[in-house]
Structure 1
Amino acid sequence: MKGQRIGDKYFKQQLLINDPNTSRFVPKMKVFTDHNFWVFLNEYKKVVIKPIRGSLGKGLIFITKTEPDIYDVHSLNQRKVISGKNNVLTFIKSNVKAKSMIQHYIPLVKVKEQPLDFRLICQREKGSNEWVVTGKYARVAHADYAVTNMTKGASILTVEDALSQSNLCNDTTNDISLTLNKVAISVARCLSKQFHKQLIWGCDLAVADDGSVWIIEANSNPQTNGFNQLETLQPMLHLINQYKQRNKNFWK
């Protein structure tokens, strides 16, 4: 059961919601149903639908209620305007092929008008309960895309460069960088209570345009390709691989 649930985004987010150290950083969310969709859309005006299982930004749909019965729908780099409740639901259901969840949209901080988020790698050594942030970078969405995945053309920046180039006040960027680290560690600690053998987590975090930090999701087998994009990130990749190698050799 644990092997199956470690890939369940909704289950992991529920664990985080119920932990006092992470609950305030988790967006409001529900399992996607017709009823939950209309409740969320009427309350928040913009929502995100995402598969409970999946990766690489596949299946994400952003819906904005622009007028009483007009909806702006954005999926990957495709955008369209739909009128009528039945029509927008028909479109969503034709594109949602698996069990999904719905959450309120987080207005992401931007660099040159493009949204960005942050990938932080947390690791521990076998026999230790101490989690460490071993690497981190920012992902800036490609023009016209609503997602920040590298496979969809996102560009990579250091966290420091992303925050300094963003539309945030520079006076707050150091505090936000520290908060990202603290939240990532809290995520790893929380999830390791359920998944005791896990030695690595990839924590995808967002910063809203008001400077607040949010947990997007945590991945049990995070890709580290982003660290190859910048020379300044190479020492982090080296550290990540050192942890992996030491854990691999732990029982030898």
Structure 2
Amino acid sequence: MTKLNTSKWTKYKLLRKSSKLSVNLPETAWLRESSFWRMIKKYGEIIIKPTGSYGGNGVIRIKKMDSSTYEVQDGAAKKSFTQYSQLNAYIKKKALNNNIIQRRIPLATVNDRPFDLRVMVQRRLDSPWEVTGKLAKVAGKGFIVTNIRLSSGKVVSLDYALKYSELKKMRAADLHSQLDKVALKAAQQLSPYYSWVRTMGIDMALDKEGNVWIIEVNFAPMLELFLKLKDKSMFQKMKSFHKSKPINRVN
């Protein structure tokens, strides 16, 4: 059996096989001119990103502003297209570089800045998956991506983000529980296809109504992100999982 690649698109298709996870997956498609117009018409705002890159590189947002104007945001820079031909040419160029298109989730915000979540799920040899850490990544001013390096954003605890967001009236314990449940389902769904993986960094999100979303799954997440939290206990727990003898990875 040929080993599956680890692209965002492949992992999305595997997650989509689970009927239990379908409600937690924002609609995603391979970028084509046809898929772009279908999804921008359906949602009004979409994200385009390379299927093989990480760290927020190459992520752009396109938003329909009115009947003839579309705003494209790349990093903190914005530009507008008012002619279909110009926007089509832009999309075709992006499509040549193996990009996927995804519904833009209306992320919950802290001080008007969107945040998403990194949920760490790990397992030891012959043991079940376990959630070992959660944190929130708050985008820098004017950015849509929450990557700390790219947007000069910040890392905060999930409880801090919830306390100062639109979700502050919801029970934090319930949101934690929902995130854990969905993250574990995602790991269980992917693990049969990637038997060598024992650590997954699942990028998740809460929208303004508190719904849980899976943005993407990383197999080589930076544990050091958790050192930015005052409480280092999650980092220490995650590191302990790496001390057990690793499963041989097939490259």
What TM-score does the superposition give when structure 2 sets the normalisation length? Answer: 0.93
Aligned to 1:242, which of 240, 245, 249? Answer: 240
Matched residue, 1:168: 167
Q: What CA distance in whole angstroms lies between the structure 2 residues aligned with 1:94 and 1:12? A: 24
Q: CA deviation at 1:21?
A: 2.6
1:5 paired to 2:33: no
Q: CA deviation at 1:60?
A: 0.9
Matched residue, 2:109: 110
Q: What CA distance in whole angstroms lies between the structure 1 residues aligned with 2:95 and 2:144? A: 17
**Is contact 1:138-1:157 (8 Å) kept?**
yes
Q: Report the secondary structure of 2:55's partner residue.
A: coil
Matched residue, 1:151: 149
TM-align CA RMSD = 1.7
Q: Report the secondary structure of 1:247's partner residue.
A: coil
Question: Mean Cα displacement is larger for which, 165-174 or 57-66?
Answer: 165-174
Q: Report the secondary structure of 1:119's partner residue.
A: strand
Q: Report the secondary structure of 2:46's partner residue.
A: strand
1:66 paired to 2:65: yes
Q: CA deviation at 1:167?
A: 1.4
Q: Report the secondary structure of 2:9's partner residue.
A: helix
Q: CA deviation at 1:169?
A: 4.0
Q: String of CA shifts for 1:169-226, please: whole Å, max 9, x gaps.
A: 4234321121111111111111002111211100000111111110000001111221
Matched residue, 1:191: 190
Matched residue, 2:80: 81
4+ residue runs of structure 1 moved beyond 6 angstroms?
none
Q: String of CA shifts for 1:151-183, please: whole Å, max 9, x gaps.
A: 121201111111111112423432112111111
Q: CA deviation at 1:102?
A: 0.8
**Is contact 1:108-1:208 (8 Å) kept?**
yes
Q: What CA distance in whole angstroms lies between the structure 1 residues aligned with 2:222 and 2:66? A: 40
**Is contact 1:140-1:156 (8 Å) kept?**
yes
Q: Report the secondary structure of 1:72's partner residue.
A: strand
**Is contact 1:59-1:95 (8 Å) kept?**
no
Q: What CA distance in whole angstroms lies between the structure 1 residues aligned with 2:222 and 2:155? A: 14
CA separation of 1:160/1:82 partners in 2, compared to 1, >3 Å: closer, same or farther?
A: same
Q: What CA distance in whole angstroms lies between the structure 2 residues aligned with 1:249 and 1:185? A: 20
Q: Report the secondary structure of 1:195's partner residue.
A: coil
Once the two structures are aligned, what percentage of the paired residues are identical?
29
Q: What CA distance in whole angstroms lies between the structure 1 residues aligned with 2:204 and 2:16? A: 15
1:208 paired to 2:178: no
Q: What CA distance in whole angstroms lies between the structure 1 residues aligned with 2:229 and 2:67? A: 46
1:132 paired to 2:96: no
**Is contact 1:59-1:96 (8 Å) kept?**
no
Q: What CA distance in whole angstroms lies between the structure 1 residues aligned with 2:173 and 2:126? A: 32
Q: CA deviation at 1:100?
A: 1.0
Q: CA deviation at 1:109?
A: 0.2
Higher helix content, 1 or 2: 1
Q: How many residue pairs were aligned?
A: 246
Question: Mean Cα displacement is larger for which, 102-111 or 75-84?
Answer: 75-84
**Is contact 2:224-2:235 (8 Å) kept?**
no
**Is contact 2:33-2:92 (8 Å) kept?**
no
What TM-score does the superposition give when structure 1 sets the normalisation length? Answer: 0.93
Q: String of CA shifts for 1:53-80, please: whole Å, max 9, x gaps.
A: 1011111111011111110111111111
Unaligned ranges ≥5, structure 2 = none
Residue identity opposite 2:68 in structure 1: D
**Is contact 2:146-2:153 (8 Å) kept?**
yes
Matched residue, 2:37: 38
Matched residue, 1:181: 180
Matched residue, 2:122: 123
